[in-house]
Amino acid sequence: MKKTLYIISVVLGLLGGVALGACLGEYFVSQSLNLIELIVGCVLIVIAIILEIIMNVVGSKNVKKNRKIIDVEIDATQQAQIESTIQSILKNNGYTLIPYNNEHVYKKGQGLWTARKFINYYFDNNKLYIEGWVSIGIGNKPNEEFPIDENFFIRVPKQQVQKVMNDIVAISKKN
C-alpha cells in the first residue's frame, strides 16, 4: 500500500508540474493565463504532498521504527576518544544535546521554518550505533519522526542528517 501511495504521489506531482509548466509557458508566449491549468497543477501538487504526509505520518505507532540506524564495529578501547570526536562533530554542525521522549539526543533546528534534525548514538559491546531522523511540526503529531532514507518528502534536511552520520562513521572507522 505504501509503495502504491508513493507511486501515485510521484505521478501526481509530475502531472501537477507539467500542468503548471504548460500554464507558465502559455503565459510567457501569449501573455494569457489559463486559470484551469493553473488550478489543476496546484491541486495535483497539493494532493501529492498530502499523500507524502499520509505515508509518513499515519499508522506510525513505534517512534523508533522511523530512524535510520547505522552500526559500526569499533575498538572498545577507543570508545572514549570516539565519543569525544562524535560530540565535536555534532557541536561543529550545530547540534545540541536535548531531552527527547525519555532519552537524550542531539537536535538541530526548531521545526518552525525548517525540519528539526536529530542524531543519537550509543555504544553496545564493540559496536557504535548511530540513529538519524527528521521531524517537522505539522498536524497533531509535531514530534513524528521521518526516516532519512525514504521518499522525497523533506529531502534536503534528510540529506544533511545523512552527511553528518557519514562523517561520524568515517571518523569511527579510522580509530
More confident residue, 130 or 39: 130
With a pLDDT cut of 90, the percent of the chain lying above it is 32
pLDDT tens string 69-82? 999 999 989 999 99
Query: 3-class SS at 140?
Result: coil
Confidence of residue 175 (pLDDT cuts 50, 70, 90): low
More confident residue, 90 or 40: 90
Please give the pLDDT value at position 62: 42
- Contact (CB, 8 A) for 67 and 145: yes
Considering the segment(s) 63-174 as one domain, its CATH architecture is 2-Layer Sandwich (3.30)
Buried b (16+ CB within 10 A) or exposed e, 17-56: eebbeebeeeeeeeeeebeebbebbeebbebbeebbbebb
Please give the pLDDT value at position 137: 63
pLDDT tens string 49-65? 777 776 665 544 444 45
User: Strands 146-147 and 103-108, how do they pair?
Assistant: unpaired
Let me know if 71 is exposed, middle or buried by CB neighbors in 10 A (0-12, 13-18, 19+).
exposed
Query: Is the pLDDT at 2 greater than 70, yes or no?
Result: no
Which has the minimum average pLDDT: 8-17, 81-90, 112-121? 8-17
User: Strands 127-135 and 116-124, how do they pair?
Assistant: antiparallel
- Rg (the chain; Cα; Å): 21
Please give the pLDDT value at position 42: 82
Highest mean pLDDT among 18-22, 42-46, 140-144, 159-163: 159-163
In the chain, where the domains are located = 2-57, 63-174
Please give the pLDDT value at position 63: 44
pTM over 0.85: no
Residue 125 CB contacts under 8 Å (≥ 6 apart), including other chains: 76
